[in-house]
Amino acid sequence: MANSGELVNYSLRPAKAAERKMLCELARRLGPFSRVETYRYIGFGSIYFADFQLFHQSLGISDMLSIEKDEANEARFEFNKPFRCVELKLGQSNTVLPHLSWDRRSLLWLDYDGKLDKSVLADLATVCSKVVSGSLLIVSVNVEPDRKPNASPEEQDDHRLKIFSEAVGVEKVPLGTARANLRSGELAKVCRRVINNEIARELTIRNGPLLDERKLHFEQVIHFLYADGAQMLTIGGMFYEERERSLLNACGFQQLTFVRGGDQAFTIRAPKLTHKEIRYLNSQLPRVPATEVILSGVPESDVQAYAAIYRYYPSFIEILAG
């Protein structure tokens, strides 16, 4: 597959841009474990490095590592690195992650453009076996259902179950998963279960010989769904040792309106609004309940979607050189 950065300018996807800002605000609350600027950031920068720019400028993180699978484009990646502190590691993440040093707290965003598969699960296994307490892991995968051309609904369901089982491994498909669970709107739930099951399984292995106070736990704090095109799922959470549970509580993640620890996702939808409409809505925000925010002529669903993310809504402005 070609480098996805050549197909999509990630800095101009509105829901993705809002997600990036939310994750930045979440990371600001890592202070009880360590000052956020002391963290290492690991991500997939592509040629735009949008997350690297935001996390360096807003969080002060200067230990940054970008894993790039498209080794043929090394020169372009090097040219587009936004800061000198960004280090490139060329190769598949399955190859790079196991050979990194894991002696410091990390903020990892494994932002895959593809679907959940054995390769993603292998990365999760590596992280769970090596990451230190106080680290934040974020995983994004494509959850758009597969479609078989000219197939009946029954054939579509069979096709999806076959493809999904082959992708993650039959043994990793959650018990009770029916063919209908892999349709649009349902596949994300199954993928979340697979991700969390893999994390739980790997931590059980790691924790086996450890004292209770040194056992490592994973606490989900992010559960996003959004679509700038394909439907995407983002799951994120904190790793912490039992003896540091009080530090997790001190982070105050639950004070953020978008934090989700369970099955119910926070849906990021960035409605199309004019600058004047945005200014008018902003003049009414924040407001509880948000249903009191109104704007004549704009669908109520768009108003509510904007009110839910207004602090993170992206601003794209074209500058014309004269």
Along the 322 residues of the chain, how does pLDDT read in single tens digits? Answer: 445 555 545 556 899 999 999 999 999 999 999 999 999 999 999 999 999 999 999 999 999 999 999 999 999 999 999 999 999 999 999 999 999 999 999 999 999 999 999 999 999 999 999 999 999 999 999 999 999 999 998 999 999 999 999 999 999 999 999 888 999 889 999 999 999 999 999 999 999 999 999 999 999 999 999 999 899 999 999 999 999 999 999 999 999 999 999 999 999 999 999 999 999 999 999 998 888 898 999 999 999 999 999 999 998 666 555 5
What pLDDT sits at residue 319? 57
Q: Which two tokens stand for residue 141?
A: 């995968």
What pLDDT sits at residue 315? 82
Q: Rounded to an integer, what distance in angstroms lies between the CA atom of residue 213 and that of residue 215?
A: 6
> Domains in the chain and their CATH numbers?
4-144+184-268 (3.40.50.150), 275-312 (no CATH)
What pLDDT sits at residue 4? 54
154 by Cβ neighbours in 10 Å (0-12 / 13-18 / 19+) ranks as exposed
Count of Cβ atoms closer than 10 Å to residue 188 Cβ: 24
- Integer-rounded Cα radius of gyration of the chain: 20
What lies within 8 Å, CB to CB, of 55 at 6+ separation is 24, 27, 41, 61, 64, 107
Q: Rounded to an integer, what distance in angstroms lies between the CA atom of residue 284 and that of residue 235?
A: 31
Task: Give the strand pairing for 106-115 and 86-90.
Answer: unpaired
What pLDDT sits at residue 317? 63
Instruction: Cis check for the bond before 286: say yes or no (omega within 30 of 0).
Output: yes
What pLDDT sits at residue 288? 87
Count of Cβ atoms closer than 10 Å to residue 293 Cβ: 20
Distances (CA, A) of 240 to 113, 166, 196: 28, 33, 15
Q: Is 189 helix (H, G, I), strand (E, B) or coil?
A: helix
Instruction: Cis check for the bond before 289: say yes or no (omega within 30 of 0).
Output: yes
What pLDDT sits at residue 321? 59
